[in-house]
């Protein structure tokens, strides 16, 4: 039996395909608009990698911001439920999960019984999210995937004080015009994101081990500063952190189809 999970976020469509709980294929497809089309393209590309057709998928569960428009889904499940399911598969010892995606920051606790016990989220402002980092990268005329490594080269990180993304972008442009080293500016951005994330996480109990998922978890600079802010080492998952929600959806699709 073959199952799929599609996590349609605000910045990327993510698909994971599994067979008998083994991962067959996955695909992450960034997009700017047309989420429905992005979801369709993501599963098409994932299926093509393993020579499968859509008809061979026995069940697909959709999750994420755009879960309602995934055209091939057989059901929809909230993101926290999918994330929790995947975390229990990847590292059942984890007790706090930080999720930083395209336009939201969330954190939740998992009890020893595997159940969600507490959660908090900030989805009203993009400050500190992947979108915030993307805007800053454009202001610096740097590829998004270079920011993490560049942060680690900083010698004197600047201070980004604005909570608003528009004003923070103005601060970044000012630093550029002053001739500040770009590594120091990027480090300032990463530290700002980490500070906002840590502030939200502290609204719930911080139970270790703690892990981080979502696209921003791939930014090594932000991860380092979050660890400094929280005073701990984040537990690493042996899986792409941006695909965790889609994996959870696929696992739940498998469970839903069982008699």
Q: Are residues 33 and 144 in the same domain?
A: no
pLDDT band at 102 (very low <50, low <70, confident <90, very high): confident
Q: Is the pLDDT of residue 128 over 90?
A: no
Q: Are residues 38 and 101 in the same domain?
A: no
pTM of the model: 0.92
Number of domains in the chain: 2
Q: Is the pLDDT of residue 125 over 70?
A: no
Q: Are residues 128 and 181 in the same domain?
A: yes
pLDDT band at 124 (very low <50, low <70, confident <90, very high): low
- Between 74 and 162, where is the model more confident? 74
Q: Which residues pair with 5 in a beta bridge?
A: 16, 61
Q: Are residues 228 and 244 in the same domain?
A: no
Q: Provide mean pLDDT across the span 158-186.
A: 86
pLDDT band at 112 (very low <50, low <70, confident <90, very high): very high
Q: Are residues 226 and 248 in the same domain?
A: no
What is the number of residues in the chain?
259
CA distances from 92 to 19, 44, 111, 118, 250 (A): 21, 31, 10, 17, 17
Q: What is the predicted pLDDT for the residue at 123? A: 62
Q: Are residues 227 and 245 in the same domain?
A: no
Q: Are residues 102 and 178 in the same domain?
A: yes
pLDDT band at 255 (very low <50, low <70, confident <90, very high): very high
User: Position of tokens 């608003």?
Assistant: 164
Measure the CA–CA gap between 129 and 78, rounded to whole angstroms: 20
Q: Are residues 169 and 199 in the same domain?
A: yes
> Both tokens of residue 258?
């069982």
Q: Are residues 129 and 63 in the same domain?
A: no
The answer to whether residues 217 and 100 touch, using CB atoms and an 8 Å cutoff, is yes
Q: Is the pLDDT of residue 69 over 80?
A: yes
Mean pLDDT of the chain: 92
Q: Is the pLDDT of residue 162 over 80?
A: no
Q: Are residues 104 and 49 in the same domain?
A: no
Instruction: Kindly report, residue by residue over 11-48, the tens digit of the pLDDT.
Output: 899 999 999 879 999 999 999 889 999 999 999 999 99
Q: Are residues 118 and 218 in the same domain?
A: yes
* Range(s) of the domain holding residue 21: 1-91+238-259
Measure the CA–CA gap between 208 and 1, rounded to whole angstroms: 36
CATH number, domain of 209, equals: 3.30.420.40
Q: Are residues 36 and 153 in the same domain?
A: no
Q: What is the predicted pLDDT for the residue at 202? A: 93
Q: What is the predicted pLDDT for the residue at 122? A: 84
């Amino acid at each position: 039996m073959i199952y799929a999970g599609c996590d349609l976020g605000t910045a990327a469509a993510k698909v994971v395909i599994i067979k008998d709980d083994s991962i067959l294929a996955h695909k992450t497809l960034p997009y700017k608009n047309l989420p429905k089309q992005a979801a369709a393209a993501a599963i098409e590309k994932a299926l093509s990698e393993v020579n499968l057709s859509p008809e061979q998928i026995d069940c697909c569960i959709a999750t994420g911001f755009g879960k309602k428009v995934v055209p091939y889904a057989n059901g929809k499940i909230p993101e926290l439920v999918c994330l929790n399911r995947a975390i229990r598969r990847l590292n059942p010892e984890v007790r706090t999960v930080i999720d930083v995606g395209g336009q939201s920051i969330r954190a939740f606790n998992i009890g020893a019984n595997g159940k969600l016990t507490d959660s908090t989220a900030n989805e009203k402002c993009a400050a500190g999210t992947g979108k915030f980092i993307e805007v800053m990268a454009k202001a610096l005329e740097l590829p998004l995937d270079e920011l993490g490594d560049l942060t680690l080269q900083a010698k004197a990180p600047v201070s980004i004080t604005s909570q608003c993304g528009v004003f923070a972008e103005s601060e970044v442009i000012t630093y550029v015009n002053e001739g500040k080293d770009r590594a120091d500016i990027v480090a300032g951005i990463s530290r700002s994101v980490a500070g906002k994330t840590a502030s939200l996480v502290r609204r719930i109990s911080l139970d270790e081990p703690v892990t981080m998922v979502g696209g921003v978890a791939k930014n090594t600079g932000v991860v380092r500063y979050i660890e400094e802010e929280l005073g701990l080492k984040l537990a690493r998952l042996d899986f792409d952190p941006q695909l965790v929600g889609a994996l959870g959806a696929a696992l739940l699709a498998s469970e839903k189809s069982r008699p």
